[in-house]
Every structure is written in C-alpha cells, then in structure tokens.
Structure 1
Amino acid sequence: MAAHGGFHDENEKLHRLASLDKSRIPADGGADFNRLIFADSPYLLQHAENPVDWFQWGEEAFAKARAEDKPIFLSIGYATCHWCHVMAHESFEDREVAKALNDSFVAIKVDREERPDIDDQFMAVAQMISGSGGWPLNVLLTPDKKPFFAATYLPKERRMGVPGIIDLLERISRFWQRERDKVEESCSTIMASLERLNRTEPAYAGGELEEAAFNQLAAMYDDDWGGFGQAPKFPMPHYISFLLRCWKAGRPEALQMAEHTLTRMRQGGIYDQLGFGIHRYSVDRQWLVPHFEKMLYDQALVAIAFAEAFQATGKNYYREVVREILNYCLVEMTGIDGGFCSAQDADTEGQEGKFYLWAAAEVKEVLGEEAARLFCRLFDITEKGNFEGKNILHLPVSIASFADREGLIAESFKGELIKWRAKLLTVRQKRVRPLRDAKVLTAWNGLLIAALAKGYGVTGDETYLRAAESAVTIILEKLQTKEGRLSRSYHLGQAKIPAFLEDYAFLGWGLLELYQVSLHQGYLFQALRLARDMIRLFSAPGGGFYDNGMDAEEVLIRQKNAYDGAMPSGNSIAAMNLLRLGKILKDDSLETAGEHGVGAFLGNALQQPAGYLQLIMAHDYQHAEKIEITLAGAREGAEIRALLATVNRHFIAGLVLRHAEDGDAGAGTMEAPAVGAAAYICASGACRPPVTTADELESLLVELE
C-alpha cells in the first residue's frame, strides 16, 4: 500500500478514487490501496491510500480481531474535519505508524455522519474516560466491541502534552498482552457507566421547567457579543428558537438576547461575508475567527432561527439573511444527483481557511483603490491582517451604520457592495475549492427542507418551495427501499444503512413545514406515514424512542436520548411532530404518543434544562394555548394562498394550521364561500367568525397576539 502525502485538491482526489475501475483491485486493496478503496463514504475514501490496513466497520474486522486475539483501533471522523486531516497526514500516512497499527491491532475507520449510532456511543465513552471529546475520535476495543481506552487527536510523536501515537500503541499493546484482567475490568466499568447514562427519568413539570431553562440561558448569555458562554462559541440556533418562545410568553429580555446574538453572528467572521452561509463555530468570544467548515445542518437551523426572528419582529434584515443562507445552499450544496450535500471543508491545500482569506493588496487589485478603501474599512481589512497575516472579513458595525458614518446613501452603497462582492467572488471561485462532502443524509436534508419551507413562508420566493419539494422527491426515490424503509445515506449511486430516529424525525419535520406553507395533502400524509413507521421501528418502553430501529445493528446498547447537541435531539423533534400531527389530524393516539415522548425525559430536563431545550419547546407546545387556523377553499386558489401567506409571516408558537379537508369529519362545517376562501380561527376557548381576506386575517392575528 502506498502512502500519498502532500496537499492537493481534495475534490479531484475523491473524484479520482471514486472513478477507478475496482473490479481488478484485490479485496485487501492491493499494493496501492487498502480496503477503504471499496467504500463510498468520502471520509473513508480519503484514507484509501493510507499504508494502514483499514477495515470498514463490520464482521470481517471483528472476526480477524478474534482470530488473531488483537484489540481493535477504531478511528471515527468525517470528511470535512480539520483535525482529522491533520492526524491523517501526520500519523495515518506514516509508514512507522502504519506498521505499529498493522502488527498489533485491527484498524477500523468509521464516518460519524453515516453512523451516528457508533459515534454517539463511543463519544460518550470518550467523555467518561477523559472528560472531553471531539474528532478524530480514536477508541480501543476488545474484539467483542467493548471499549477500554479513548483519545482524540494523536500526532506521530509527543507534542504539547499530547502523547505520540506510536508510543501509545506500544503501551496499549503491552497492556493488552500482559494485563488482560485489567482490560476486562475497565470494559465492565465503562459499560456500566454507559448503561447509567442511558437511563431516562419520567417526571411531571409545569411552567417552572421553562423558567429554569431561561434562567440557565440568561446566566450563560454574553451581554457584549451575544451568544452563550465564552470560547469556542457555537451558533446554537435552537437557543434562539427557545428565546423567541420565552419572549412570546412575556419575557421581553429574551427577544433582546435573541436579536443581539443573531446580529453579532451575521456581522462576525463566523459568517461568510462574501458567499454567505455560516461556518461551524467561532474559536473566540467575538465571533471573529471561525472553524471554517460549513455543515448543512448549521445552514438549515440558523436559517430557521432567522426566519422565526423575522416572523417575531417583522424586520426585513432577518428575512434577507434567510435568503442569503438558502441561496448559498442552492448554489454550493446542491448535489449532482439531487438532494443536498453534507458539508464543505475548512481546509484547502493543507491550510485552514485559505479559500476565505484576503490580503488588503488582493482586494485593491480586484476592486481598484477607491472602492477597496471603502470595502476594507467596512470589513476591517488591514495590511497586518487578523488571521495568520491575512484577513477574515467581518463587520465591526452594520452596513447601514457604516454608510451613515461615511456620509453615504445607504441604498446606493448597498448596490455598490453587491457589485464588489460579485467581483471578489469571481476571483475566489478560481482558487482551489474546499472539499465538498457530496453524500446526501436523510436527516440533514430533512432539516434543510424545513428551512426552505420556512424560507418560502417568509419570503414568498417559490424557488425555495421547489427546492424543498425536489429534495423530498429525491429522498423518497433514492433513500427509501421498496418496502418504505428509509436509508441514512446516499452517495455514488448507493443508498445504505437503515435510517435512524433523527432521519425519520427531521424528515417528518420538513414535511410538516412543507404542508404548513403549501397545504398539499401529500406532505401531510407522508409525515403521518413516517410517524407511524417511527412508532413501529423505534418505540421504547416508558415512552420516547430508541436512536436505532428494531431492525438495525445494536452497537453496545440501544440508546434512548433526548439531549440536544449541535442539532436538536431526534426524540424531541419526534415528540413535537407527533403533537403537531395529532392536532392537525385531530388524532388523540398521535398526541398521546407525543405526550409520552416528552414525559419520558422530563426528569432529565429538570436536572439540566439548557441541554433539553427542544424537548422543553415540545412540552410548551403540548400545554400552551393553541391558535387553530383552518383554511377552507381550493388549495391552489389565489385567495387561499393569500390567507396562507399571511399566517406564515407571523410567529405563532402554538399554531395548528390545516386545510378544511385534512381534519376530522367535523371540518366539513368549515366551508369556503362560493367564491374565494375563508379562514376559521379558534383560540382562547372561542371560535371567531370566518374571515375571507388577507387584511381581515392580519388584523385578527395581531389582535390574538
């Protein structure tokens, strides 16, 4: 097997490896590759030319470990992970490291995005062992998959307090051979701790749960820079969604916290000021220096947060950011085979952020001296730079404030800025582009479908509606078996891995949002079908759902979890979907399943409210006063479209929206006028007379708010 070091265009490398005729390559990869050459995951293909004798996760690797009595070296990462690249170049491309691994271990590579079940369980192990986690995640296992050691980034030789991988592998190999009883003892302790982590605590909670969660967020809130905590600082868009619901419930300070955070993020270096879209996180408190990778789920969830901010405030600024993020996704993240790609890398040519950075001289060369002077002052571009001698573009003040300070007409200046951005983007596009992980994940596409639907709802731009509908079609055609079982991942023409709870829940969310902006009955019924399949495949005793289906592999234990990470938990979104579906369809059994899903985790949420915000939002929806709006009339008629657009411009936390034909039989009493459409609203224990115009509906909604 040949090691191929150096830096190059990762997109070209993956294309080359994916295009090879593999029918002539031996099963072990032969002299030039390892077994990962037969993978279709971009992350695994990145390691196909390592001298390490990698296996994919599966029985072949475990059988070899049992037969040779070797521990397993499990390495988990993803294609756009910066430190995964660093470790690959320093360690996995090195022949000494490869020899140490190949001689004494069975090495397995896993793409965490394809197998969140494997990643979640071993990340929990890493956090138990070391108190922290991250990627690359490297775990030592017995041949029966029991973990006994975990670490993250490992250089070849010891550096800055991080142990060198060769020395570590030698010590672990001796430990395995000479002190097997201690290995087994460690495994038993870890497995017992993992079982305890998996316990849920049902409880009853009232309004004190929402209050405790708000107080916890307020204590973490950064008054100066927005966001929560110090550094690193993540977008955490579900925090914003929760704060908007707190504001709606009577806490004006919650809206200030949400708006300040959104504005600071949009103006910061964490936001791509030229091409738009948001980077993964900021390494500093000020949102200036990002970790430059862009994840599809961040784009979706942040766009939803900005859309809800527009609905809450009516400020066009937030709606324009929704457009920016969604347009970025349509341009950069739409896959060749349809669906949306997973991520863009932080690195190009071996340097993090190189694609996004600018020198002052480069800007001057592209824009000319006078325009560059203004542009550099606006985005704080200096000769010295703010990141490794170059500049991360950011906005110390808003564009409107800058124009006012410079004595410029704001609208004219914004027009010039659009032209300058276009010129700089043209130049940037000629650079070596970051790797795009082109695999389509059902869950993350579900989130973007929800965001596109929200985007259509607040902008009326049918481009977003068509993109969402197209993504649904792709998933149902390419990521679903003939029997209707969803798959997790699609890449290089192959759909594989039975979908997990989050895939069903997030796609269900997207379908419900599509129904809410289109009233197309098909999306509602697809959401209902997924919900019933989800109940059948994932239901857990005592309420809630397991993360993996009854027909899927059980890695260590069958996890049941509602803790939010960078994305909301599958259990919380599943519960919300069931509550919404139950209300729309007036189906008590669905509502009851949703209520049990919330109740199963309330004890956990009471202990750590800020970690369960999405569950708390479902709990709030369950108990909050509902505003039920039933629209009657032809689904495609201009009149009903106008009424629907009016509803979708408002932030209504307890909204139940349906077409008259989609509720129970009693909905037949809600009839449209002979010509046009009508909206029937029931709220605060009373039903109002129907209204037939958008203006009448607007007035009624304002009154109810």
Structure 2
Amino acid sequence: MTDPTGRNRLDEEQSPYLRQHADNPVNWQPWDDAALDAARERDVPIFLSIGYSACHWCHVMADESFEDDIVAEVLNDEFVSIKVDREERPDLDGVYQSICQLVSGRGGWPLSVWLTPEGKPFFVGTYFPPESRQGMPGFLDLLRDLSRSWEEDRDEIENRADQWTAAVRDELEDTPDQPGELDDADDLLGSAAQAALRSADREYGGFGSGGPKFPQPTRLDLLMRAYARSGRDQSLAVVTETLDAMASGGLYDHVGGGFHRYATDRDWTVPHFEKMLYDNAELSRVYLDAYRLTGRPRYATVAQETLAFVERELTHDDGGFYSTLDAQSEGEEGKFYVWTPDSVREAVDDETTADLVCDRYGIAKSGNFEGGTTVLTLAESVENLADEYDLGEDEVEEHLMEARTALYEARTERERPARDEKILAGWNGLMISGFAAGAQTLDPALATTGENALSFVREHLWDESEKRLSRRFKSGDVKGSGYLEDYAFLARGAFDLYQATGDVGHLAFALDLARVIEAEFWDSEEKTLYFTPESGETLVARPQERRDQSTPSSLGVAVSVLLDLDHFAPDAEFGHIAEQVLSTHANRLRGSPLEHGSLVLAAEKRSRGALELTVAADELPEEWWEALASRYLPATILTRRPKTDDQLETWLETLELDEAPPIWAGREAVDDDPTVYACENFTCSPPQTDIRSALEWALENGSENGDEN
C-alpha cells in the first residue's frame, strides 16, 4: 500500500484554510482514515494543527515554520502532520481545545497538538515561534525534543496521553449522578446578570479590565433580559455603554458596516480585522433588541448597516452566507480598512468635507495604527463639529454621508481581503435569525434574504429523504455530518423566519430539525444532548457544548428552540428533553451561570413560560407590525395561523400533525378581522382585534415581557 503521507494532500480539499497550506513543504494530510492509519502503521506521533482561514497567527506560524524546509523535513520524517479547519470540524477543535485549556489555562488558534497514533493528546499549545522567546520554546527545537521523547520515553508519553484523555473525557462527557432542579431560574438569571455586571468595564465599555476585548452578545442578552424582568438601571447602563463603545470604536467598520472579530485594546480602538459571519449575525440581533428596548435610533442604524454588509459581501449569488473575510490584504493586516489624511483627501474632493471626516473619525498624521495609518473611530461628535465649522448639524451629517460614500468607493479600488466561501449550516442559521430580527424590527422585506439563505441550505445541505443535515458546502462540494450547532442554530433560524413571515414551511423545517436533534444527539441515559451525532465518528471523547464561546452554546440554543417547538408538537418529546437537560446541568448553571449564559436564558424561559401571541390573519396589519417592532419581547412566541380552523387543516398536513396544537386550537379570527390571542402561564386573554390591547393585557396579568419605547 502506498503511504499517503509521502506528499501534501491538501490540494484535494475545498477548505480555503487547508488549501492555503497545500504548497507547504510539510506533507500535510486532512483528518481522515488514510492519515490515521498511516500514523499507526508507521508508529509515529500525529502533529495536529487546527486553525481557520482568517486567523492571523495561523498565517504567521505558517510563514515562519511551515514554509521552512528544515522544519518540514523533521515533520515529514518523524510525524504524520494533519491540518484541520476548525470551522469544518468543530468537534475535533472542541475536544483538543478543551485539553489545551485544562493543561495550560488558555486556548486559541493556531492550536498545536501532538497525539499518539490512537488520537490521545500528550503535548499541546497554540502558536510557537521559530526560535525560543518569551518563555515559549522554538518550534523546531520542540519537534526534535518530542521526537526524541517518543523514542526514548515512550512509556511516560503513553501514560500522560492516557491521563489527559481521561481528563478531557471527564470534562466533556461528565453528567452528574444526581440531577438538580431549576425552580429558582429567576434567581439564576439575576446571578448571571450580577456576574456580568462585576466583570463590566464601566469606563470603556465591554467586559474585562484590559485588552483584548471580544463582543459578548450573550452577556448583553442576559443583562437586557434581567433589566426587562427587574428594571435595574445598572444592567441597562452596562448594555448601552458596551453597545456604544463597540459601535463607536474600531471594532465597527464605519465605512462599510459590520463588525471585526475583536479589539486588541481596552478602549476598542484597534481591532483584529477579520470579519466573521457569526459575530455579525449575533451582534445585528443584539443591536436590534437594544433598539426595541431603548428606542435609540443609532442601534437600528448599526444593525441595518451590518445586515447590508452581510448581504453585500458575505452572500452567495444563490442565497447562502459565506463564513469569513480575512484580516489581511496585500500581506498586511488591516490594510484594506485604514486611512491617512492624504488618502482621505484623494477620495474626498471637497476640502471642508475632508476636514470634517478627518475630525469625525480621528484621522491624523500620527495615526493610531501601524505606519501612521488610522483605524476609524467616532472621535468627535456631530454637535461639536457643527460648532467648530459653523454649520448646522444636518449640514454636517450631509457632508459626512457624502464622505462615507466617497471613502467606500475609493476603498473598492483596493485589494480586498480574501473571503472564505465555505457555507456552514449552523452559522447560516445564526445569520438567518439576524435577518428575521431585522424583518420584525426594521423592514419586513429583510426576511427575503434570510429565506433565500434557508432555501440554499435546504437545497444543498439537507437530505430530504434521509432527514439529515450536512455541515459544509463549498463550490459544489458537500462535506461532513451536521453537529448539534448546525441543527440547533438552523432550527432557531427557521423558526424565527416563521415568526417573521408566517410561512408554515419554515416551521415544518424547524420541526424536522428538532426531530433529528432528538434522534441523533439526545442520550436518554445520560439525559443530555451531545455535540456530535450518535451515528458520527468516534473520537477520544464525545463533547457537550455547555459554555458560550465565540458562538452561543449549541446545548443552550437547542434547549431553547425545543421549548418553543414543544408548543407546536406536544406529542413529541421536545419539552421533556429540554427539562431533562436543564435538570442534568442545574448545578453547573448555579455554580457558574455567566459561563453558561445561553442555558441560563433557556432555563429562565422554561421557568417563567413564554408569552404566546397567536395571530389569526392572512397578513399582519401594518399597525400591528409597528406595535410589535417597537417592543422588546424576550421569550415571546409570535405564531401565525389561518383565520379559520377549516383553513388550518392544510397547515396540519404540512406539519404532519393529526390535530391542531393547543397554541392554535380554537383561535379563529373574530368576524373575519385579524385577531390576536395572548397567553401566558396557562392564562389567555379574550380574542383581541387590537394588538396593543393584547400586549396591555399581558402586562396587566403579570407578564414583564416588554418595554414600549
């Protein structure tokens, strides 16, 4: 048999990250049976390198080490080297990131792991420089040391690998012998919010006392929910301080819209410039919720510009959403996004307008970034500029709008950052929810973009006959079984689209996805939902994703969407599964509620119950849409149904239901007029033909589900 590890095999892959390494002198392998079998046959360790296409330090390590012929010789002779795109294989990344966290207290990318041929880890780290510095071993020296240890201290390495594998199994697979109860979910939400407040940076916004600073959308969700329930102004203050800081700083692209991955500093000035689909999905939704809660127009504008950026720059012609934009262009990080006074004046003809834009966005000769360039921030208010230039505020706004258009057009002439055109089912689900939120808050027409993306995923990644979802589409190639995040995030997106449009087909698809969650991810003995499907590949541990990370916890999102869908399929096990999962992890949630924010929000929803708004109408009246768009309504189900029960029969056939679920049963339109029924905690309002009356009933009957602007 020919040894497949005698050459670099990444040119056979579709992942842009893997293809970036196809020309390395390292004989990289994808993670597959051929590579794993070769490691066992050669009896050599595996060097596993995990990253993603927009990862800056992945590029650095590639340039410094993986392009080096001497490093490549050692890797090729002494190891089987495997490259993994963490966006394609979040299961592998989750397992080995966990051991990195357990051993070193930190993680990140590139993730560098050395494994036995059986996949058990025995050494782990992230970025390694080519030569030793700042306490980090040089990569080449480390390779030689590990190769020597494999030959001379094999028993010690095997023993360590067994210990680390046992530790990661305990961390990822553990479920308690004695489940807890979550009757105190309101207190749990309060505890999570208090923990978020303690970690808040009240001077610069965000969380943590220094840099780097990451967007933390789930923490903002917790604080907004806590404010809606308790009215504590401090929670709302931290939300607005953080949203204002992110939207004013360099994290936000003031020319083209959308958010970068994170800020490298405490005051949000200089970002790490990659743009991720999931960040823009979650942040657009959070800004829309904050707009509904506070009425601040700036939040609506930021959300609208972010959705426009995604539609313009991260959308496939046929509808799906791409994954990322790189941080680099022309070999330099941020070059596409930064400005100098001279480059502004080249783009903006009018001298006064150029001066205004430089003052507004802090563009100075000294710069705030490398080479005297400037990352745009909101450095001066419109009011102050109006006074300084003796102009009206409307005139200043007009000049700035013209300038932004000119800067955008000038920027299109620059070399663009590379785009990772993988279309991932789960990340598309998050972005579909973002567009659904935009349709419910800003403009119903925004639902079309979300619907196009859902249609793309259903056409290319959903097998209707097998009722199974694949993970990734790229250039016609489909790869990988879906993980819990794919099913849960996409079910959430489909259900949100149903709420925004009333299209029962979206609800039917959400129910199909939920049924697979039960069949493939639910373990009735351990009473939990695992991240990997039961029919999937067996790894050294079967992970659960309890904590929120750069994306929300798939376990938390799954529990939340199962609770919602239980209203439509009461004969299914959705509600029971959600309750069992929350009971299983109750003590973890009490012990560290902030780390498990999505699960805490699901627990609070389950404890308090959702506010149900059932609308019997062919179309949502415009004034009803306006009333709902102006209210922050967490844990609310907006469900549509036909006006009469006779018309409802065709919907039930679509949903494969024998009878109308209680949320629809008997809730017909009154006198053929659009009618709404508000229900909470097993109590329902009389049928209302005015949506505001129904919302007032909900508030008067104990619901704290909304603030009106």
Please, what TM-score do these two structures have when normalized by structure 1? 0.92
Deviation digits for residues 285-307 of structure 1, max 9, x if unmatched? 10111111000000000011001
Unaligned residue ranges in structure 2 (runs of 5+) = 642-647, 652-659
Q: Does the CA contact (< 8 Å) of 2:112 and 2:125 recur in 1?
A: yes
Q: 1 CA distance for matches of 2:470 and 2:192?
A: 35
Q: Does the CA contact (< 8 Å) of 2:567 and 2:661 recur in 1?
A: no
Q: 2 CA distance for matches of 1:398 and 1:246?
A: 31
Q: 2 CA distance for matches of 1:242 and 1:331?
A: 31
Cα gap change, 1:694 to 1:316, in 2 (>3 Å): farther
1:356-435 pair list within 5 angstroms = 356-368=337-349, 369-388=351-370, 389-399=372-382, 402-403=385-386, 407-435=390-418
What is the CA distance between 1:638 and its match in structure 2? Answer: 5.5
Cα gap change, 1:630 to 1:378, in 2 (>3 Å): same
**Which amino acid is 1:679 matched to?**
V
**Which amino acid is 1:374 matched to?**
L
Cα gap change, 1:628 to 1:593, in 2 (>3 Å): same
Paired position in structure 1 for 2:655: none
Which of 192, 204, 209 is equivalent to 2:188? 209
Report the secondary structure of 1:673's partner residue: coil
Paired position in structure 1 for 2:587: 603
Paired position in structure 1 for 2:639: 658
**Which amino acid is 1:572 matched to?**
G
Paired position in structure 1 for 2:175: 200
Paired position in structure 1 for 2:424: 441
1:566-581 pair list within 5 angstroms = 566-581=550-565
What is the CA distance between 1:693 and its match in structure 2? Answer: 3.8
In the alignment, structure 1 residue 52 sits paired with structure 2 residue 26: yes
Report the secondary structure of 2:320's partner residue: coil
In the alignment, structure 1 residue 119 sits paired with structure 2 residue 103: no
What is the CA distance between 1:212 and its match in structure 2? Answer: 1.7
Report the secondary structure of 1:129's partner residue: helix
Please provide the CA RMSD for this pair. 2.1
Paired position in structure 1 for 2:511: 528
Q: 2 CA distance for matches of 1:668 and 1:569?
A: 33
Q: 2 CA distance for matches of 1:498 and 1:398?
A: 50
Cα gap change, 1:548 to 1:401, in 2 (>3 Å): farther
In the alignment, structure 1 residue 678 sits paired with structure 2 residue 655: no
Relative to structure 2, which stretch is displaced further, 77-86 or 401-410? 401-410
**Which amino acid is 2:674 matched to?**
A
Q: Does the CA contact (< 8 Å) of 2:319 and 2:455 recur in 1?
A: no
Q: Does the CA contact (< 8 Å) of 2:4 and 2:35 recur in 1?
A: no
In the alignment, structure 1 residue 162 sits paired with structure 2 residue 136: yes
Paired position in structure 2 for 1:516: 499
Which of 191, 206, 215 is equivalent to 1:235? 215
Report the secondary structure of 1:611's partner residue: coil
**Which amino acid is 1:566 matched to?**
S
Q: 2 CA distance for matches of 1:172 and 1:238?
A: 40
Q: 1 CA distance for matches of 2:479 and 2:211?
A: 37
Report the secondary structure of 1:113's partner residue: coil
Report the secondary structure of 2:150's partner residue: helix
Q: 2 CA distance for matches of 1:73 and 1:330?
A: 39
Report the secondary structure of 1:328's partner residue: helix
Paired position in structure 2 for 1:264: 245
In the alignment, structure 1 residue 308 sits paired with structure 2 residue 282: no
Paired position in structure 2 for 1:19: none
Q: 2 CA distance for matches of 1:231 and 1:665?
A: 50
Paired position in structure 2 for 1:130: 104
Paired position in structure 1 for 2:600: 616
Deviation digits for residues 105-156 of structure 1, max 9, x if unmatched? 1111000000000001111111222221111111111111111001211232
**Which amino acid is 2:671 matched to?**
A
Paired position in structure 1 for 2:233: 252
Deviation digits for residues 230-254 of structure 1, max 9, x if unmatched? 2111111111111110001112221
Cα gap change, 1:398 to 1:305, in 2 (>3 Å): farther
Cα gap change, 1:192 to 1:308, in 2 (>3 Å): same
Q: 2 CA distance for matches of 1:106 and 1:701?
A: 62
Report the secondary structure of 1:163's partner residue: coil
Paired position in structure 2 for 1:8: none
Cα gap change, 1:298 to 1:403, in 2 (>3 Å): farther
Which of 436, 444, 449 is equivalent to 1:467? 449
Paired position in structure 2 for 1:12: none
Cα gap change, 1:420 to 1:64, in 2 (>3 Å): same
**Which amino acid is 1:678 matched to?**
T
Which of 67, 81, 89 is equivalent to 2:55? 81
Paired position in structure 1 for 2:645: none
**Which amino acid is 1:150 matched to?**
V
Q: 2 CA distance for matches of 1:215 and 1:699?
A: 29
What is the CA distance between 1:404 and its match in structure 2? Answer: 6.0
Which of 242, 259, 262 is equivalent to 1:281? 262
What is the CA distance between 1:599 and its match in structure 2? Answer: 2.0
Q: Does the CA contact (< 8 Å) of 2:31 and 2:84 recur in 1?
A: yes
Q: 1 CA distance for matches of 2:353 and 2:68?
A: 48
In the alignment, structure 1 residue 143 sits paired with structure 2 residue 127: no
Report the secondary structure of 1:416's partner residue: helix
Q: 2 CA distance for matches of 1:332 and 1:666?
A: 39
Paired residues in the alignment total 674
Which of 446, 450, 456 is equivalent to 2:433? 450
Q: Does the CA contact (< 8 Å) of 1:643 and 1:679 recur in 2?
A: no
Deviation digits for residues 509-560 of structure 1, max 9, x if unmatched? 1011111111111111111111011110001233221100011112211112
Which of 149, 159, 162 is equivalent to 1:175? 149
Q: Does the CA contact (< 8 Å) of 2:569 and 2:661 recur in 1?
A: yes
Cα gap change, 1:586 to 1:390, in 2 (>3 Å): same
Report the secondary structure of 2:594's partner residue: helix
Q: Does the CA contact (< 8 Å) of 1:72 and 1:143 recur in 2?
A: yes
Paired position in structure 2 for 1:494: 477
Q: Does the CA contact (< 8 Å) of 2:169 and 2:542 recur in 1?
A: no
Report the secondary structure of 2:632's partner residue: coil
Q: 1 CA distance for matches of 2:469 and 2:566?
A: 22
What is the CA distance between 1:473 and its match in structure 2? Answer: 0.6
Q: 2 CA distance for matches of 1:287 and 1:568?
A: 22
Relative to structure 2, which stretch is displaced further, 207-216 or 613-622? 207-216
Cα gap change, 1:399 to 1:264, in 2 (>3 Å): farther
Q: Does the CA contact (< 8 Å) of 1:584 and 1:658 recur in 2?
A: no
Q: 2 CA distance for matches of 1:174 and 1:27?
A: 23
Q: 2 CA distance for matches of 1:686 and 1:122?
A: 48
Identity, in percent, stands at 38
Q: 1 CA distance for matches of 2:662 and 2:201?
A: 51
Relative to structure 2, which stretch is displaced further, 155-164 or 557-566? 155-164
Q: 2 CA distance for matches of 1:436 and 1:498?
A: 23
Report the secondary structure of 1:56's partner residue: coil
In the alignment, structure 1 residue 296 sits paired with structure 2 residue 277: yes
Cα gap change, 1:647 to 1:460, in 2 (>3 Å): same
Q: 1 CA distance for matches of 2:604 and 2:217?
A: 18
Q: 1 CA distance for matches of 2:271 and 2:575?
A: 41
Q: 2 CA distance for matches of 1:648 and 1:590?
A: 29
Paired position in structure 1 for 2:198: 219
